[in-house]
Structure 1
Amino acid sequence: MEVDMPAYGHYIGGSVQLNLDFEDLGFPFWYNKGRPAIIFPDGTKIAGAEPFSRVSGYAVINGRKVEVAGFSDHEAFFNKGDIVHNIIKHGNEFWLPFWCNDETHGIFVIFGDYKDGGIVIDGNYMIPRDFDLAILRLHGISPVKINLSAETLKGSLNLTYDGIARFGWQWGEVVSRVSGTFTRKDGSTAELKGFGWIEHLS
């Protein structure tokens, strides 16, 4: 897929052209286990899935070609009601995908009191029973460093998102490095290092 994307002037300046290949990793995250979910008291509903893909290709930045590799999250998101208005009204929206490698990645989402997520560790898909988020650093009103802890039936995840670049005008959208551990029920651990995204609107 080729996309012409003017870059925000205060980040790069000029123009950016992307030529990318996407390979589905086969572990989609389904909101509310594939059923519509009510996220706000007025009845606002959401549904959909967020499959991850391995990405490779190149970018042409102001005429200079740069090889790129990483991940993408193809958001197939549906909602009933004025979701943007209601997010602004109720606040506490977070969208937090992360990717360490093809076998270890995931996403966490929060809308008000609604929390959901799906993670893949060493190729094993898990739905968190619960997770907590702590803001460690702000840039203005936008979180740029957060810690996320989650419990699953197979172990505990502790992950830190540390922002390295900010994008967007309306949303707090921060590209981040992620690092942490997954502690299995038998006490063994897996080290996690990769990249993530912090989207937040309060």
Structure 2
Amino acid sequence: MRMVVFPDVRGCIRGRLYHRWGWRGGNGYPQFLASFGLCKICNMAQFFKWGNINAKILSLVNFGGELMSGYGIKLVWAGWNNDEIIGFSNKARKKWEDDIRPGVRMLIYETSKPPGLKAIVGEVEVTGTWEQGEGKPTPTKEHNHPVNVRVLRRRADITPIPLHRVRQITGDEKFPRQGQAWKPLSEAQYKALLDAWD
């Protein structure tokens, strides 16, 4: 693992560090215990309180979990038509609660249930928190955890991106998986999908 460390960087200047793991060096590395976290806002992986200095790591590091991303594909059942509410199931909210936050951009993928297009049919940006969405009606009763979004690209204004192109661009030949609600994307993957519209 290659690390670029700057001494005395006291955590993320934007705050809201999300703590996930502790890590101890080994295999010839100095023995130390450090906390590891991800900033919910800037997605910067960070070490801090490393010995008697504070430090920050510049690259995202995955210790077996999935990293948060500001971009992704939201899978919806057929019938999405520029809705300003996006619903998640109980299971999906528990899994992605920390990832789905204001500012996150979503490409809307319409699944085959019920008969749907199996294509990306729009783009939205999250504008509200989970708490702000509580109690609001959702398009389906199975997806009863809503977040507010604003529509960036309307269904009628774009040419759908078919499944085979989505798989090709993301490099994921098994997309979509059974029960999948959200697929995080890198910024490069997201922009490549947007380019498919231009």
TM-score by length of 1: 0.20
What is the TM-score normalised by the length of structure 2? 0.20
Q: Which has the higher contact order (CA 8 A, sep 6+)?
A: 2
> Which structure dedicates a bigger proportion of its chain to strand?
1
- Higher percent of residues as helix: 2
Structure having the higher Rg: 2
